[in-house]
Chains A and B, each alone.
Chain A
Amino acid sequence: MSKRNQELIIDLLGGRLSPDEERRALSRIENDPALRAEYEAQISALSILSASEMPLMTASERTTLRASLRHQLHLDNAPVAVVAAPSRWQRWWAPMGGLAVAAAVVFGAVVVLPGALSGDDSIGTFETASAPITTMAASESLAEDSSLMTEDEVTGDNSAGASAPEATGSGSGDAETQAAETYDAAVVGAALPYLTDLDLDMLENDLASDPDSLRNAAPPPPAKSAGLDAGQVDTCLESLRADNPASEVSPIALATYEDTESVVVSVTPSGAEAFLAVYGVALCQELASTEG
């Protein structure tokens, strides 16, 4: 079937032809069995499709959707649990609140991950790094200053906090030894785990359910020996922070994303929820984000 004939049939069925064009088209179809068969198939499919009724949400689904959106968009002060019963499609971070998520993510990145890669010394690595260490300050303020969270946010989901001490306590093994030997403590980027097959949404979900998960998912060798320029990572992070002074920008991991060497960051805008974003390090351009 030629493209011209396809368009002829589509236009004919869509009422897009003039009366003369329509007459000529129908004549052609009448005299060409193959074309006629295609035309009839199109009519057949179209008649079934046009008989389909639009699916609707139930009243309960509609109420839950709006309540969840209102909560996440901060359009009201009512807790989600009051305005609508939780359902399994409600996003994991809705009841937790943005700051709690930010704390979990940043805590995982700053405290758990370096510990996983290089043992107890890794936290010291961040403290002595020459690159800007706003990451540490951010994690401290978020993870330790519970005044930033409501009581519900602090206690609503304690799985992240419960798993973290255990994670920091386990920090040995061949992989970790190799990581400690190869990364450059002078740069933040090189101390991050490296993901070879990044799915940002999966990472977000994984971190929410288990802040320790990235440690298990990040294989040695670390970024530096994987060919990623750690200096560029630091430059990109500095640039991001300069461009977003009202947001906390914290590196989570390095990755190859759509064949581009990238850095994964947690971004926490002031007064808003944290999200993950991927930036290509060479040009420091955003490649993907879970913001929406």
Chain B
Amino acid sequence: MTARSAEDRELIRRYLEGDVSAFDELMQAHEDRVFAICLRMMRDRDSALDATQDVFLTVFRKADRYKEQAAFSTWLYRVAVNTCYDHLRRQKRKRTTSMPDHLDPSDPRSGDEFHAVELRPDIETALAGLTPEFRAAVVLVDLDGMSLEGAADTLEIPVGTVKSRVFRARKQLAKDLGNLTPGSEHPSDEP
């Protein structure tokens, strides 16, 4: 058990006993990382803030159901990803999503799309082109620095599936960012 994990368990215990300061300590420890996951998943700041709020509401309201066999952070990030999935589905159904980021004008300093990518490798824009499942995998592993096993626990999928999603997500990102060499595409080999 890591020091952070042990500390989280103690904070949860204190929170459940009515210690309000435990709330602030848990927020301080995790709010930025949860927000970062939500922003990269949702791509829109207001939506990310809304999702972040829902994540913590869920976690604090269900804190008594937290099972200590798993790290608190694993549970928290699982709630975060699932909340983002829910919000994305809702957005899709409402059809009120804002204009996709990839329609943003290119960097005015550049002469063409390729150089715009070179000058401004807009990761958030490229992430927008991924499905939520692929985006979640690459956000957790490559952007959040989570281990493959940690991501598998968080997403509740096998490690092999995480590897596959990360691989395909990176390939798509490289392509979207203009860094995939022409000979490297083998669509027929895709599973």
Contact = CB atoms under 8 A, between A and B. Distances in A.
Interface size class of A (residues with CB under 8 A): 35 or more
A56 B62 contact: no
B186 interface: yes
B174 A69 contact: no
**B-side interface mostly:** helix
Interface in B159-179: 160, 163-164, 166-168, 170-171, 173-175, 177, 179
B115 to A, nearest CB: 15
A2 B24 CA distance: 47
Given A7-B160, A68-B53, A291-B61, A202 B90 contact: yes
A41 B49 contact: no
Contacts of A61: 49
The CB with the most chain B CB atoms within 10 A, among A2, A51, A56, is that of A56
Contacts of A41: 170-171, 174-175, 179-181, 184
A75 B23 contact: yes
Contacts of B39: 55
Interface in B31-87: 31-33, 35-36, 39-40, 46-47, 49-50, 52-54, 56-58, 60-62, 86
Interface in A25-56: 33-34, 37-38, 40-42, 44-46, 48-52, 54-56
A148 interface: no
A204 B60 CA distance: 21
Contact of A1 (B33, B173, B189): B189
Nearest to B182: A37
Contact of A42 (B49, B57, B171): B171
14 contacts: A7-B167, A9-B167, A45-B171, A54-B33, A56-B35, A57-B31, A66-B27, A69-B23, A69-B53, A70-B20, A73-B60, A75-B20, A75-B23, A292-B57
A89 B53 contact: yes
B179 A34 contact: no
A44 B60 CA distance: 40
B10 interface: no
Contact of B60 (A1, A11, A46, A69): A69
The CB with the most chain A CB atoms within 10 A, among B47, B62, B163, B168, is that of B163
B107 interface: no
Given A3-B164, A38-B171, A52-B143, A45 B179 contact: yes
Nearest to A56: B32
Nearest to A49: B142
Contacts of A68: 53
A173 B132 CA distance: 44
**A-side interface mostly:** helix
User: Across chains A and B, which 8 residue pairs bring their CB atoms closest together, nearest first?
Assistant: A37-B184, A292-B58, A45-B170, A44-B179, A41-B174, A45-B174, A49-B142, A45-B173
A37 B139 CA distance: 23
A206 B133 CA distance: 28
B173 A48 contact: yes
A152 interface: no
A93 B62 CA distance: 19
Contacts of B60: 69, 73
A6 B167 contact: yes
Contacts of B20: 70, 75-76
B169 to A, nearest CB: 8
Contacts of A69: 23, 27, 53, 56-57, 60
B37 to A, nearest CB: 10
A85 B49 CA distance: 15
B108 interface: no
A123 interface: no
B109 interface: no
Nearest to A72: B57
A17 interface: no
